[in-house]
Amino acid sequence: MRIFVLLFVAFLFCAVPPPSLAQDFSEEELENELSIVDDDAPVSAKTAAAYLDRCLARVPRRFTPSAHEEYCVCTGALMRQNITNADLEALNANGAKKPGNPAFEKFVNDVMMPCMEGPIVDIAYVECIEDRSNSPLIYHIPKYCQCVGTSLVPFVKQAGASTAMVNMARHPDEFREPIDALLRSTPFIQQKNQAYTACKRRYMKTQLPNVRAYP
């Protein structure tokens, strides 16, 4: 039964149903997997690859195609590196996907948030580009928006996981996914507003253009 647990949890964070095991393993392969599973060993390459496929099949809200691909490839690699079979089994328990569960917090800290450092730039950039309230005095909107996105990376790196966990703990009925909890958190929004202000100073024209007066 453990191999069923491993495959199911690998797909858990992509919110899509796991495929039939018959698609991935023969009866003999299943017996071999069951006999060699080590709780302390990292998840198998096959499990990580299956997670990657499922992650790529579903684009989260706000993610650009490039951010989505980068996130999935990164999390698939970090699952293989940082998540053990025991972690996956713990994550499959009822009510496991919540703050306070060490296995879930490990997944968020060691897999999800390190892989948000790149995508957050794309997400913030697109949001900035599409913002119709941008001042006409900003002389280079693409560079300005890139500045906003890049400015958010240190916050995500240092406080992304803890911010997401706190927001999920405070609002359990509203936030069920760590990334959504991060992007809609008050600290992140405050950090984003600070980035807008700082980058606006950098790219704002200091003088209005000269306009010839009518005679």
| Residue 7 binned pLDDT confidence (cut-offs 50, 70, 90) | very low
What is residue 116's DSSP assignment? G
How buried is 24 (Cβ within 10 angstroms: 0-12 exposed, 13-18 middle, 19+ buried)?
middle
Task: Give yes or no for residue 10 having a pLDDT over 80.
Answer: no
Token digits of residue 23: 């698609």
Task: Give yes or no for residue 23 having a pLDDT over 70.
Answer: no
Q: Where are the alpha helices (DSSP H) in the chain?
A: 2-12, 27-36, 45-56, 65-82, 85-91, 102-107, 119-129, 141-151, 153-170, 178-183, 186-203
State the average pLDDT over residues 73-85.
93
* Domains of the chain by residue range: 1-115, 117-206
State the average pLDDT over residues 73-100.
89
Lowest-confidence segment of 9-13, 78-82, 94-98 by average pLDDT: 9-13
Q: Does residue 85 contact residue 5 with C-beta atoms inside 8 Å?
A: no
